[in-house]
Amino acid sequence: MSLERIESAAELRARVAQWRAAGDRIAFVPTMGNLHRGHLALIEQARGLAQRVICSIFVNPTQFGPNEDYSRYPRTLEGDAAALDAARCDLLFLPSVEVMYPLGIERAVKVEVPGLSNVLCGAHRPGHFAGVATVVARLFNLAQPDLAVFGSKDFQQLQVIRHMVSDLGFPLQIVAGDTVRETDGLAMSSRNQYLDVEQRQRAARIFETLQSMARRSQAGEAQIQVETWANAALEAEGFTVDYAVLRQPDNLVEPDALGPGTRVALIAARLGATRLIDNLSFACS
């Protein structure tokens, strides 16, 4: 088996129809490319759940703000394709901006998920999740998969997509893949390569802080105290903190009290110009 590359919507639909006629189950992993071991773990997970696996690479302009890194986002197509081929991905979908937005970006129909999209990362990156929801909805319509696999590192994105799929009635299953980490705990991300050597060493403090937030919560420390400590600890390490918070996982609202149940600690913080996000789910008894 060798990786097939398709750029047009019509070719993608034809291949999907062929697989469906053969009775194959189809899994989909949307990405922006510059693939690392975290992405390839999602491909492996998808391979275990379906007969056919599609990966898309599309750096989506509508989810980047005016001062963000769209133009310099790493584009490594040939290396990505080789990695996908080795991971036994069946098809690489490479749509252009014109394929994804045939009427142009300014006239594009937008998909928005109220509530979940305007908090946390949404508050610091206005319009970001409308861009995410819009492009993912379009990709689902084109690929028509039975299931789609998303990494858990982008926890808010995962919840936005789950909500969208449920509310709009997409006939597919959303599967969460575990966050893949470096040996020091740093969550793998394409943006990690922006860090210099000293910043890369400090970046591991994010996961250490998440672990401490979980331990403090489980020990009964008040939410405001945990969050105040986490923000101060990160700032002392040289981070510019967007947020370090505790939330309920399904709706990302503040927990009424840290009693029994699942919670998630979430951090977004910058080292220099590089914005890093991570999270950790934990149970309170």
36 catalytically annotated: no
49 Cβ contact partners less than 8 Å away, ≥ 6 residues apart:
25, 27, 147, 149, 175
3-state helix, strand, coil in the chain (%, to 5): 40, 20, 40
CA gap 216, 226 in Å, rounded: 7
Q: Are 259 and 284 in contact (CB under 8 A)?
A: yes
Backbone angles phi, psi at 90, to 5 degrees: -85, -40
Q: Which of 205, 189, 206 is nearest to 37 (CA)?
A: 189
Catalytic residue (one of 36, 39, 124, 128): 39
CA dihedral sign of residues 213, 247, 153, 26: positive
Q: Are 29 and 136 in contact (CB under 8 A)?
A: no
CA gap 62, 107 in Å, rounded: 12
Q: Is 57 exposed, middle or buried (0-12, 13-18, 19+ CB in 10 A)?
A: buried
Using only C-alpha atoms, what is the Rg of the chain?
19
CA gap 182, 270 in Å, rounded: 18
Q: How many residues does the chain have?
A: 285
Helices and strands, number each (H, E), in the chain: 10, 9
Structure tokens at 184: 């020091």
CA gap 130, 103 in Å, rounded: 17
Q: So which residues are the catalytic ones?
A: 39
